[in-house]
């Protein structure tokens, strides 16, 4: 193995430290305590774990954390009413509705109900558009985390050939905007791309975000490429015992690490960055809501 392992866990820890500093500054200099409201509908165990982690990390950086738990059969109108209440609450600077919501609720309606000024996931059309145009605002958390890791490892990204595999609204498309803004030549590849390995082989930077376990192989990579693996896939791990599982990325780590210059592991790479960037976005929105310039080290 030759690749440098990009330690997302450590980076996220340092980022949270910087965020705590900005929280302290907002409190003492401006009398603002940033507040993040998380809404969870139903009792999905994975969602419960995420929400608990978010609340814990929000409190740890000194922000106010507001948790709203609604039963799985809550009427859509009631959820929308809660969102409107949070929109109007001056103590709340970020609103996150944990997805997926139960099937009787239209997720687009929920997203459109969130005040774009408090849309820390950058899900609303207005915030998606602002990222493309280059106006200040929150940026999708996972792509922002990937960008921070890339900038930290490479310094300037200008002129690099970046290939993004996957074109989801959550990761691929906002990632394309951020890498373009950092002056990469950006290619977006996906399920309909012909000769994908050849396309990937031209990349200095590869971002894999397709949700297929270990799809990207080492021989798809240019020697020295920097590989960001966004995938989090649970696969059987019989070697750990019957019925056991383990987490793998969209990249075949073992073969990729032989060729890449640097690579994020799964777990411990991009994963820990997402919540940290959610907190970063809450600083950005709390600043903008109060007419302050957001800190430049917490956004794209």
Contacts of 53 (CB under 8 A, 6+ apart): 275
Residue with tokens 């790479």: 269
Is 156 among the catalytic positions?
Answer: no
Which string of b and e fits 92-108 if b means at least 16 CB within 10 Å?
A: bbbbbbbeebbeebeee
Nearer to a second copy, 91 or 135 (CB): 135
Among residues 194, 239, 293, 296, which is the contact residue for a second copy, using CB under 8 A? 194
Smallest distance from a second copy to CB 179, Å = 9
The stretches of the chain forming alpha helices (DSSP H) are 8-30, 45-60, 76-88, 107-113, 125-133, 141-154, 172-181, 196-200, 253-259, 271-289
Spatial separation of the C-alpha atoms in residues 290 and 300, rounded to whole Å: 20
Question: Could you tell me which residues come within 8 angstroms of residue 277 by beta carbon, excluding any fewer than 6 positions away?
Answer: 15, 139, 141, 142, 144, 145, 148
Q: Tell me the number of residues near a second copy by CB under 8 A.
A: 32
The residue among 78 and 158 lying less far from a second copy, judged by its C-beta, is 158
CA distances from 201 to 176, 205, 222 (A): 18, 10, 5
Residue 190 binds to a second copy (criterion: CB under 8 A): yes
| Catalytic residue from among 57, 118, 119, 121 | 121
Instruction: Kindly state whether residue 173 participates in binding a second copy, applying the rule CB under 8 A.
Output: yes
Catalytic residue among 57, 98, 177, 214: 98
Instruction: Tell me whether the omega of the peptide bond preceding residue 287 falls within 30 degrees of 0, making it cis.
Output: no
Q: Is 232 annotated as a binding residue?
A: yes
Q: Is 16 annotated as a binding residue?
A: no
150: cis peptide before it, omega within 30°? no
What gap in Å lies between CA 152 and CA 6, rounded to an integer? 10
Closer residue to a second copy in complex, CB, 3/96:
96
Is residue 167 at the binding interface for a second copy, with CB under 8 A as the rule?
A: yes
Residues between 129 and 148 that touch a second copy (CB under 8 A): 129-130, 132-135
Q: Half-sphere exposure of 134 toward its Cβ, with a 13 Å CA cutoff?
A: 5
Under rule CB under 8 A, residue 58 binds a second copy: no
55 binds a second copy (CB under 8 A): no
Q: Is 201 annotated as a binding residue?
A: no
48 is catalytic: no
155 binds a second copy (CB under 8 A): no
Q: Give catalytic status of residue 121 as yes or no.
A: yes
Q: Does residue number 103 form part of the binding site for a second copy (CB under 8 A)?
A: no
Q: Are strands 205-208 and 226-229 parallel, antiparallel or unpaired?
A: parallel
Q: Which of 169, 223, 246, 254 binds a second copy (CB under 8 A)?
A: 169
User: Which residues 197-236 are close enough to bind a second copy by CB under 8 A?
Assistant: 199
Annotated binding site: 166-168, 232
Residues carrying an active site annotation: 54, 98, 121
Interface positions with a second copy (CB under 8 A): 108, 124-130, 132-135, 158-159, 161, 167, 169, 173, 176-177, 180, 183, 185-190, 192-194, 199
Annotated binding site for NADP(+): 166-168, 232
């Amino acid at each position: 193995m030759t690749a440098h392992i990009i330690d997302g866990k450590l980076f996220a820890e340092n980022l949270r430290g910087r965020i705590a500093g900005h929280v302290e500054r907002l409190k003492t200099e401006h009398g603002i305590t940033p507040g993040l409201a998380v809404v969870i509908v139903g009792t999905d165990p994975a969602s419960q774990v995420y929400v608990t982690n978010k609340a814990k990390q929000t409190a740890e950086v000194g922000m106010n954390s507001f948790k709203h738990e609604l039963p799985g059969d809550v009427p859509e109108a009631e959820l929308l009413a809660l969102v409107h209440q949070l929109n109007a609450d001056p103590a709340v600077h970020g609103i996150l509705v944990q997805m997926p919501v139960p099937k009787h609720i239209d997720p687009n309606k929920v997203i459109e109900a969130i005040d774009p000024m408090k849309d820390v996931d950058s899900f609303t059309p207005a915030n998606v558009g602002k990222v493309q145009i280059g106006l200040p605002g929150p940026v999708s958390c996972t792509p922002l985390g990937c960008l921070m890791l890339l900038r930290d490892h490479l310094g300037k990204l200008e002129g690099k050939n970046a290939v993004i595999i996957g074109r989801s609204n959550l990761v691929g498309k906002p990632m394309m905007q951020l890498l373009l803004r950092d002056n990469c030549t950006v290619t977006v590849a996906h399920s309909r791309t012909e000769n994908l390995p050849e396309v990937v082989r031209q990349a200095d930077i590869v971002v894999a975000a397709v949700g297929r376990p270990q799809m990207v192989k080492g021989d798809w990579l240019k020697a020295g490429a920097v590989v960001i693996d966004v995938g989090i896939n649970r696969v059987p791990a019989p070697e750990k015992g019957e019925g056991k599982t383990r987490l793998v990325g969209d990249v075949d780590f073992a073969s990729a690490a032989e060729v890449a210059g640097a690579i994020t592991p799964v777990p411990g790479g991009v994963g820990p960055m997402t919540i940290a960037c959610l907190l970063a976005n809450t600083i950005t929105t709390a600043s903008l809501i109060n007419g302050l310039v957001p800190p430049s080290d917490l956004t794209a």
